[in-house]
Amino acid sequence: MKAMVITGFGDAGVFEQRELPKPEPGIGELLVKVYAASVNPVDYKIRTNGSWAVTPPVIIGYDASGVVEKCGPGVKDFKPGDEIFYTPIIEQGHGTYAEYAVVHEDIVALKPKNISFLEAAGLPLAGCTALDAIVNLARVKPGENVLIHAGAGGVGSFALQLAKISGARVATTCSPKNIDLVRSLGADIAIDYRKEDFAKAFFRETGGELADVVFDTVGGDTTARSMEITKKFGRIVSIVNISGNINAGHRKNIVLYLLFLERAKHKIEMMRTLVEEGKIRTAVDSVFPLNRVADAHRKIEQGGVRGKIILQVSGE
């Protein structure tokens, strides 16, 4: 099979196309013919610095959609020919930048019937992370004010939609070119973070109201700066490294969640249901062939991505 392998840690030039043996599924595992994968920030962070016990040469990539080609012993819920999507567990090393991959059936769901393999590949990691942040941790309720930092990004675009269907008034930061996108995904307030201080803009646009929930996908001092506009007993969720003084959160009894996605079947099945009901969608920034994964990595590292970057691995 063709696979894009990182030969070491470093810039995007470490990718190398190789011919490797097709993997065999073990107990409870599926052999998947990968149709599409996607590129996430965690991919380039691992490629650059290494982490999670990933040792080159190795296939990375943590989203996939495709078709079950073979079932290992003991598989109960799937059969060859099933169209599926999933996000693999990083530590297990079964990356998806390849024509075939293996995955345990416990973290797999049938692909939503109403979207393409390309759209489905952008959904698992970012979508389930947003689900954890907005629904499972922050527990956003109708009528609440929610601020999502970088609502045009991969995770942010799903978080924005999930907050909206939860009944919240949703504000998000974005660049001017992405205002149309975040509006189409349900944002009530779009804040140009390049032009305005987001805290002042949020306070103005909400008529002086504070945020019940803040979701930080940016990092740096964003969480610390968000304390100012978060209500007493409010909730802040971060999926990135944070810096700055967060002591203001003590005086307000703010709950701070630091989130890293744990894979689970019920999460990805919930995302499938929401897509099939037409409540959320994948915003696709661009599509690259698998052999141009290095270009895809360079693009996501530059920032300003509108939704998800997808890799087409096999023809649909």
Q: How does residue 53 score in pLDDT terms, banded at 50, 70 and 90?
A: confident
Amino acid in position 308: K
Does the 126-258 domain belong in CATH 3.60.150.10?
no
Nearest Cα neighbor of 149 from 208, 189, 209 is 189
3-class secondary structure, 273 = helix
Task: Provide mean pLDDT across the span 105-134.
Answer: 98
CA–centroid distance for 250 within its chain: 30
Provide the terminal-to-terminal Cα distance of the chain, rounded to the nearest Å: 17
Q: What Cα–Cα distance (Å) separates residue 153 from each residue in 61, 87, 143, 201, 304?
A: 18, 18, 24, 20, 8
pLDDT at 217 over 80: yes
Stretch (H or E) spanning 112: none
Beta-carbon count within 10 A of 195 CB:
9
Q: What Cα–Cα distance (Å) separates residue 311 from each residue in 3, 20, 36, 92, 183?
A: 12, 19, 6, 21, 26
Q: What is residue 93's predicted lDDT score, i.e. its pLDDT?
A: 79
Q: What is residue 39's predicted lDDT score, i.e. its pLDDT?
A: 98
Nearest Cα neighbor of 62 from 83, 92, 84, 82 is 92
Task: Provide mean pLDDT across the span 285-296.
Answer: 98
CA distance 99 to 211: 45
Average pLDDT along the chain: 96
Q: What is residue 50's predicted lDDT score, i.e. its pLDDT?
A: 84
Angle at 224 between CA 244 and CA 175, to 5 degrees: 110
Q: What is residue 315's predicted lDDT score, i.e. its pLDDT?
A: 67
CA distance 249 to 224: 8
Determine contact, residues 22/81, Cβ cutoff 8 Å: no
**Domain boundaries defined on the chain:** 2-123+282-312, 126-258
Taking the whole predicted model, whether its pTM rises above 0.85 is answered as: yes
Determine contact, residues 282/119, Cβ cutoff 8 Å: yes
Task: Provide mean pLDDT across the span 156-164.
Answer: 98
Is the torsion defined by CA of 66, 129, 190, 169 positive or negative?
A: positive
Angle at 208 between CA 207 and CA 212, to 5 degrees: 105
Homologous superfamily of 2-123+282-312 in CATH? Medium-chain alcohol dehydrogenases, catalytic domain (3.90.180.10)
CA distance 67 to 86: 11
Q: Which of 89-103, 104-118, 224-238 is predicted least confidently?
A: 89-103
pLDDT at 254 over 60: yes
Look-up of token digits 């967060």: 246
CA–centroid distance for 195 within its chain: 26
In sequence order, what DSSP letters do the residues of 115-154 get, joined into one string? S-HHHHHTSHHHHHHHHIIIIIIS---TT-EEEETTTTSH
Residues in a beta bridge with 147: 171, 214
